[in-house]
Chains A and B, each alone.
Chain A
């Protein structure tokens, strides 16, 4: 996402009483920060990203909200 000041970053919000990262997220979030990532699958297509074309490394913020928003 792009924040109002133009900074781009990856924002992961986990909600609910057991808010936590799953195993895939634990593996992929450091990769996004250090190496960038290659969008894949239907979700990427639906978001207007091009599967197979890498994006550069991005800062990652993880927000835990254990109470329903």
Chain B
């Protein structure tokens, strides 16, 4: 068993006690659903000292089922359905701890698991609760640390009924990537074409 696997095993009882009972993707703890919103904590890890130490920097995330299902349809990437819409490192919501992380080794597993879980409960759960609202997600996407915003934000705007802003956002991204030939530009163009076509068809 690697130190990371031991750390995840040690985290299971305390994380379950605060409502994160399910583990997916070998280290993503999923909490209870609130309507269409589901919180999760990804145990983002780095191995140090030749596999003897596992540093975990928890990433908070909140999924919104209709947004992710639409993204899966628009892109053909089924994995969206088990992803998140907004995410950020837990340190971002901890006072004076922007790079908070917990170092696990085989002598401190239970203690570090308790400490990490306490931080999730004290700082992560309130943020995830605030994100269980589509307009709060929109603001977080606009001004936060989430990834793949160029896909998520227009879909969220459209679900909020702000279709013109969704269209404007996608068109701005198309202009930004107009001369680019890399893979992201190719993927985004395919998404944008389909998204804009569906907006046209819906009007």
- Enumerate chain A interface residues (CB-CB to B < 8 A): 2, 15-16, 34-38, 42-43, 45-57, 68
Binding site for A on B (CB under 8 A): 24-28, 42-45, 48-50, 59, 61, 75, 77, 79-80, 82-84, 87-88, 145-148, 151, 177, 180, 182-187
Which residues in B have their C-beta under 8 angstroms from that of A50? 77, 79-80, 83, 147-148
Expressed in whole angstroms, the Cα–Cα distance for A56 and B42 within the complex equals 23
Please give, as numbers and ranges, the residues of chain A lying within 8 Å of B43 by CB-CB distance.
Answer: 46
Q: Determine chain A's interface SS by DSSP, over half rule.
A: loop
Considering only CB atoms, which chain B residue lies closest to A15 in the complex? B48
A46-B28, A46-B43, A48-B59 known; 16 other A-B pairs, CB under 8 Å?
A37-B183, A42-B26, A42-B27, A43-B45, A46-B45, A47-B42, A47-B59, A48-B44, A48-B84, A50-B147, A50-B148, A53-B75, A53-B80, A54-B182, A55-B147, A56-B182
Residues of A within 8 A of B184 (CB): 36, 54-57
Docked pose: A47 CA to B75 CA in angstroms: 21
The answer to whether A46 touches B27, judged by C-beta atoms less than 8 angstroms apart, is yes
A45 to B23 Cα, complex, angstroms:
12
The chain A residue with its CB closest to the CB of B185 is A56
| Nearest CB of chain A from residue B164's CB, rounded to whole Å | 25
Residues on A with beta carbons closer than 8 Å to the beta carbon of B183: 35-38, 54
